[in-house]
Structure 1
Amino acid sequence: MKKREIKAAFVKKNQELFQCPICRSSLEVAEFQRFVCSNGHSFDFAKQGYVNLLTKPPKTKYDKTLFQARKIIINDSPLYKDLHQVIAEKLNQMVHGKFTIADLGCGEGSHLQKIGKRFDENVTAVGLDISKEGILLAAKSYEKPIWLVGDLAQLPFQNRSIHVILNILSPSNYQEFTRVLSADGAILKVVPGSNYLQELRKIFFAEEKKDSTQNTRALFQKHFELIEVINIHRTYSISEEHVESLLHMTPLLWSVDSEQLEKAGKQLKEITVDLDILVGRHNTL
């Protein structure tokens, strides 16, 4: 069987999770080649095994170079290993038995791969991102998760079908998140702390303005009960081989020219990771 057919067969076993992003009727896998709904909307599996469920062309500046750099940093550098460990430990406390986890805004899927593989056969993992470039790289790189190109504003999941939502350094759509999260499910949203990548800010921005997560927390709490905030704060040494990838993985530096980036690369010896994990459940009020 071709990769497309193998992945379609796996998705078929879990097709009760999905709904059409256009009409919200159930989706079924047909002929191990496409998703179809009762109203005739059809979405083909790509040869790499992912499905594009977008209903209109996206507007995104994220490109192949950024996702490749991000993959290198997440997989080969130590910067996010503590994040993955803490999330896995929290999930072990909160969910039991088999569960479905969706990384919404997953990029090229490396965070989901790192976290999901810790649960082996107990997890059905789904990664969704609006960038086709990101999902294409995910599908080429990681075999097990289900990879979808999709819109956070039109999630292709049935109501209450997802046990765990991950939203890591990504925009949110809380209305849709609330709809798809199971009644006893958990959402873990990762947001940058005020010292996140502070070394880059100090190099490129003379008047550093520290970010605050207070507005993010307040918005989160309008939709979910915030049961815990876990902070990860650590400064890591960074090797020369990873500096270039780091400089190309963050939108923070989109306005910086290549000469400045090269100069910065020679200065950068360490980097601070300061992240807050907002852990939530459905409001009980």
Structure 2
Amino acid sequence: MSVVPFENLACPLDGIPLYREGRSWRCATGHSFDIARQGYVHLLPVQKKRSKEPGDSKAMVAARQRFLDAGFYQPIADAVSKATLEGASGKPSISCLDAGCGEGYYMRQLGLAASGTSLSLLGLDISKWAVLSGARQDDRACWVVGSNANLPVVSGSLDRVLCLFGFPVYPEFARVLSPGGRLIQVDAGQDHLRELREIIYPEVRTESKKVSQAPQGFRRITTEDIRFSLHIAGAEPIADLLAMTPHLYRASQEGRERAAALESLSLTVDVCLHTFERESAAL
């Protein structure tokens, strides 16, 4: 198995293909984007940013890395890798975008799972800190600071798009996928981390984030529920779990204090993995 950088980047300003020249990516109209010394490129125009540093903070990224590297979500990573590689048998290579890649855990797991197929990998996140962490850990993939709302990717150039606990923008996913390409999406189920939510919130909602219908331009291939129990021992990994989720900012001060006092926690992990195929008439 080999992992190679994804090369079909597009200019975020005019949408035409970028080509690499030395330590920069350039387009034919003269726009140029320097590659940082850590190995990533910033393709999120200032006018598209809603804050000075959008996305996850440096502390959130570090917490997620510690938690995921400890293997707590390994069953999810295994299911994502299996779904991503499904249908790739016999292909010499597949190109894959992790849209909202965080610090790159699921892409690294995919690289470990692939055999006999070359992977062209692109990790994209709106958080500079997330992309920086991913680039530092794996210099074989292409790492980009960018937005799912305006993917800096050439149309029809991808075989797979991953959207894991993220913010799907289906028209953009349809645009960048080739006909027959697949979207692998993971969302929280109604019982996901219920025990933690019961501690930090006065009332727990039970609605599921499952996608009931295939998005426009896609057809559903499979839907898989992934459910398992998780026991976390120690205050630090519990704090990391809380810090890597939106719950840290949604919970009250009292709720956060209750969580901080825990020395162990048994949890339900409940997620849904959807596989959608891009239809030929998606554009």
TM-score, normalised by the number of residues in structure 1: 0.88
Q: Which residue of 1 aligns with 2:16?
A: 25
> Aligned Cα RMSD in Å?
2.0
Q: C-alpha displacement at 1:164, in angstroms?
A: 0.7
Whole-Å separation in 2 of the counterparts to 1:207 and 1:242 = 24
Q: Which residue of 1 aligns with 2:31?
A: 41
Q: C-alpha displacement at 1:263, in angstroms?
A: 2.9
More helix by share: 1
Whole-Å separation in 1 of the counterparts to 2:65 and 2:168 = 22
Percent identical residues:
29
Alignment match of 1:89 (pick from 82, 88, 106): 82
**Count of residue pairs the alignment pairs up:** 269
Kept in 1, the 8 Å contact 2:102–2:130? The answer is yes
Q: Which residue of 2 aligns with 1:115?
A: 110
Q: Deviations over 1:228-269 (max 9, x none)?
A: 111101111112141121121111221336664343244342
Secondary structure of 1:269's partner?
strand
Alignment match of 2:123 (pick from 124, 127, 151): 127
Q: Which residue of 2 aligns with 1:211?
A: 207
Q: Which residue of 2 aligns with 1:252?
A: 247
Q: Which has the higher contact order (CA 8 A, sep 6+)?
A: 2
Kept in 2, the 8 Å contact 1:74–1:111? The answer is no
User: Which runs of no fewer than 5 residues in structure 2 stay unpaired?
Assistant: none
Alignment match of 2:56 (pick from 62, 67, 71): 62
Whole-Å separation in 1 of the counterparts to 2:101 and 2:70 = 18
Q: Which residue of 1 aligns with 2:226?
A: 232
Kept in 1, the 8 Å contact 2:170–2:216? The answer is no
Q: Which residue of 1 aligns with 2:100?
A: 105
Paired letter, 2:17: S
Alignment match of 1:77 (pick from 23, 48, 71): 71
Q: Deviations over 1:115-164 (max 9, x none)?
A: 22322661111100111111111112222221100111211111110101
Kept in 2, the 8 Å contact 1:58–1:131? The answer is no
Paired letter, 2:225: N
Q: C-alpha displacement at 1:91, in angstroms?
A: 3.0
User: Which runs of no fewer than 5 residues in structure 1 stay unpaired?
Assistant: 1-9
Paired letter, 2:107: L
Between 52-61 and 21-30, the greater mean CA deviation after superposition: 52-61
Secondary structure of 1:281's partner?
strand
Whole-Å separation in 1 of the counterparts to 2:257 and 2:176 = 44
